[in-house]
Chain A
């Protein structure tokens, strides 16, 4: 428990340093070097994809048995590509997951 408290606190301090980095270092007209900007723009897709893959396909370090998780995620990805909307993706993904659980998958 103490470990978790320390980890959250240090992560909070480091994250705040990241949050103020650009605001403090880049006053008004200075801009990020293009390469740095491009790498930073890939942090969100790469990090989120890593979390999705870890949570969806793995259960701790074992493969998750094929079922409702995979099928509902497939529905969510399909709707996300079609509607390009976060709200619709959440709604249909959750509805598909509930329906699959009710169907006994």
Chain B
């Protein structure tokens, strides 16, 4: 132990897990930035863990899925597809369509991550979630130093994934204890209403939502849970045809007017 009691010790000599004090402070700042969203991840993780047991899969499968796929909506879609006897390929394609949204976050984070070493970019990408991507994009501007920024983003994304995995494990343990009469399955629509509806702000998004719901219900008798996959694709494809309505009437009026829609 070579650390002295001088007022400004070298961070390298004060390290815990060989991570310096300044880095720990930056990680902690990241954790504080995402902390308000952690309770939702715990509840959602518990719902997924409980669901795994309801469909009769072994309990370890829940934390395994949460630590490898690490995207709750697609994990639930996989379980629902398998429950309806879907072939593996349909379950996988459904999950990947749902997770295609992560490509958008990846593109948004490309300039934020561009000054990081490759192993940091690959590692932080693994920890990317809807929530951590949103917080990272919104707050990265306050961290101009790329070295401190990567520790901050590690704090934003890492512990959030840990909390999600722990919530999943808790759901596996508590799932059998929760009485069936509580109908914990309601957390699935409720969670997605809570994420989806407050963020519905553009006409294309509203149209995609309406089309998706209509198609899912119209195709309710289609086997293997394919109605979810087809409904999502229809919502994306048809919603993309709806133009954004500009708030400022002087801006961008040269584009297709809304009346030209089918």
Binding site for B on A (CB under 8 A): 1, 3-12, 14-16, 18-32, 35, 37-58, 60-61, 63, 68-69, 72-73, 76-77, 80-81, 83-87, 89-90, 93-94, 97, 101
**Any chain A CB within 8 A of the CB of B169?**
no
Q: Interface on chain A toward B: helix, strand, loop, or mixed SS?
A: helix
| In-complex Cβ contact of B104 among A24, A35, A40 (8 A) | A40
Asked if B228 contacts A32 (CB within 8 A), the reply is no
Partner-binding segment picked from B10-18, B27-35, B195-203, B245-253: B195-203
Take A6-B88, A52-B189 as given contacts and tell me if A45 and B205 are in contact as well, using a CB distance cutoff of 8 Å.
Answer: yes
Cβ of B95 to closest chain A Cβ, rounded Å:
4
Q: Could you give 16 example pairs across A and B, Cβ below 8 Å?
A: A1-B57, A7-B82, A7-B88, A9-B68, A10-B88, A14-B99, A18-B99, A20-B125, A21-B103, A21-B107, A23-B125, A24-B121, A44-B195, A46-B239, A52-B189, A54-B231
Asked if A50 contacts B232 (CB within 8 A), the reply is yes
- With the chains together, A50 CA to B109 CA distance in Å? 27
Partner-binding segment picked from B1-9, B170-178, B214-222: B214-222
Within 8 A of A (CB), among B71-127: 71, 73-80, 82, 84, 88, 91-92, 95-111, 113-114, 121-122, 125-126
Asked if A53 contacts B216 (CB within 8 A), the reply is yes
**New contact pairs (4) apart from A28-B111, A43-B97, A86-B198, CB-CB < 8 Å:** A27-B114, A43-B236, A47-B232, A54-B216
- With the chains together, A76 CA to B65 CA distance in Å? 28
| In-complex Cβ contact of A22 among B103, B190, B212 (8 A) | B103
- With the chains together, A12 CA to B149 CA distance in Å? 27
Asked if A46 contacts B77 (CB within 8 A), the reply is no
**Any chain A CB within 8 A of the CB of B191?**
yes
Within 8 A of A (CB), among B157-209: 181-183, 185-200, 204-206, 208-209
Cβ of A53 to closest chain B Cβ, rounded Å:
4
| In-complex Cβ contact of B181 among A24, A46, A51, A101 (8 A) | A101
Chain A CB within 10 Å, residue with most, of B107, B109, B126 = B107
Cβ of B216 to closest chain A Cβ, rounded Å:
4
Take A19-B128, A69-B189 as given contacts and tell me if A42 and B239 are in contact as well, using a CB distance cutoff of 8 Å.
Answer: yes
**Any chain A CB within 8 A of the CB of B235?**
yes
**Any chain A CB within 8 A of the CB of B240?**
yes
Cβ of A52 to closest chain B Cβ, rounded Å:
5
Asked if B196 contacts A23 (CB within 8 A), the reply is no
Take A4-B61, A15-B95, A22-B110 as given contacts and tell me if A52 and B235 are in contact as well, using a CB distance cutoff of 8 Å.
Answer: no
Chain A contacts of B76 at CB under 8 A?
51
Take A38-B204, A83-B198 as given contacts and tell me if A51 and B228 are in contact as well, using a CB distance cutoff of 8 Å.
Answer: yes
- With the chains together, A55 CA to B106 CA distance in Å? 29
**Any chain A CB within 8 A of the CB of B211?**
yes
- With the chains together, A41 CA to B232 CA distance in Å? 12
Asked if A58 contacts B57 (CB within 8 A), the reply is no
Asked if A90 contacts B126 (CB within 8 A), the reply is no
Chain A contacts of B84 at CB under 8 A?
60-61
